Amino acid sequence: MKKFHKVVAAMVTIISVSAMSSGAVLALKAGDACTKAQLKKKSGTLTCTLNSKTKKYAWAAATASSAIDKTGWPKELVVGVVPAENAASQLLRMKNFLDVLGKETGLPIKFYSATDYAGIIEAQVAGRVDVAWYGPFSYVLAKARGGKIEPFAAPIPSATGKPGYYSYGIAKGTNTAVSTLADFKGKNVCFVDAASTSGYLYPLAGLLAIGLQSSDYKATLAGGHDKSVLAVKSGQCDVGFAYDDMVDVNLIEKGLIAKGDVKVVWKSAPIAGSPMAIRVDLPKSLQTLVKATILGMNVPSFVQRGLCATEKDCKILEDSSWGFVPVNDAYYDGIRQVCEATRSSKCK
């Protein structure tokens, strides 16, 4: 059994580092400077444009054109997001992202919210959601359950960064009885959702790696990363898990926790970046435009559009992402291997 625990730990670390290193950063990004001589010229999916306010030339994502063949296009584009926090907060944080996507495609955008991860997975598998922002594990589950989908973009934290994030194991800041993951034994543990990567799969792998079985603690599904953190803060759960930005940024910005209310006692190996996935049965012209638009989004381009006053205060998604890089299905093979290593029934 000890050998199995060591194998799980080693596989999670190796798989995660391998997944992180596979993310490629675009050589030219929306927001990069261009010259007057390049005005209206194209480079891949980008076009050199002049900002009428700043009088500066910069590369921007190509806009929708009436020349695009729109045969078979839907009347609206439905965008879904796994519920990291409540739907109203997610919609507010993603407003600029949705507005740009609507402007570039020329389609009304419908934001699809669900009460749990399974709701988004089932909706896209059934063809009711056109574009979904998943956690890596929930994407793998959607694909395995027959989703006709393709991942094409993952967020990065900076212009030179790679896609990826971390799971945190947390306890109340004043809880002196918990200082390591081993101290989760015998505790009421808040997980996020059975389809969450950082809120379930990687925490499960971490617990198994040190020999803790499901019978060694009480598992509670909080239903969201925010709810998991707040349950730990209030004492409803002794300990819990959530993704890094929820602890370090989101809840602090909203004033729901202060620094020191919760403490991080465990940090996972790097996790592959959360993918944007699109239905492959949408018209090809629409798929191409959606991909180009999202891959062209980043903080400088949002400032250039006048959506943000400064780069410091600008949000692309609900987290602290800077922009996107391309990814493909093979990038998430590491998640599938972690599933095999944990032998979790939730992976089916």
Is the confidence at residue 40, as pLDDT, over 90?
A: no
Question: Is residue 186 located within the same domain as residue 294?
Answer: no
Question: Is residue 89 located within the same domain as residue 220?
Answer: no
Domain count, the chain: 2
Instruction: Please say which residue of 224, 251, 267 terminates a domain.
Output: 267
Q: pLDDT-based confidence at 90, cuts 50/70/90?
A: confident
**Tens digits of per-residue pLDDT, 168-220?**
999 999 999 999 999 999 999 999 999 999 999 999 999 999 999 999 999 99
**Tens digits of per-residue pLDDT, 112-169?**
988 899 999 999 999 999 999 999 999 999 999 999 999 999 999 999 899 999 999 9
What CATH code is carried by the domain that includes residue 207?
3.40.190.10
Question: Is residue 181 located within the same domain as residue 86?
Answer: no
**Tens digits of per-residue pLDDT, 2-35?**
554 554 554 555 445 444 444 433 456 777 889 9
Are 165 and 318 in contact, with CB atoms under 8 Å apart?
A: no
**Tens digits of per-residue pLDDT, 273-318?**
999 999 999 999 999 999 999 999 999 999 999 998 888 888 888 7
62 part of a folded domain: no
**Tens digits of per-residue pLDDT, 265-285?**
999 999 999 999 999 999 999
Q: pLDDT-based confidence at 84, cuts 50/70/90?
A: confident
Question: Is residue 139 located within the same domain as residue 24?
Answer: yes
Give residue 179's domain range: 166-267
Are 19 and 50 in contact, with CB atoms under 8 Å apart?
A: no
Question: Is residue 288 located within the same domain as residue 155?
Answer: yes
Q: Which helix (H) or strand (E) holds 193?
A: none
Neighbours of 281 (CB within 10 A): 11
Distances from the Cα of 243 to the Cα of 29, 83, 199, 223, 225, angstroms: 27, 12, 7, 13, 7
53 part of a folded domain: no
Question: Is residue 21 located within the same domain as residue 118?
Answer: yes
Whole-number pLDDT of residue 7 = 46
Whole-number pLDDT of residue 272 = 94
Are 287 and 34 in contact, with CB atoms under 8 Å apart?
A: no
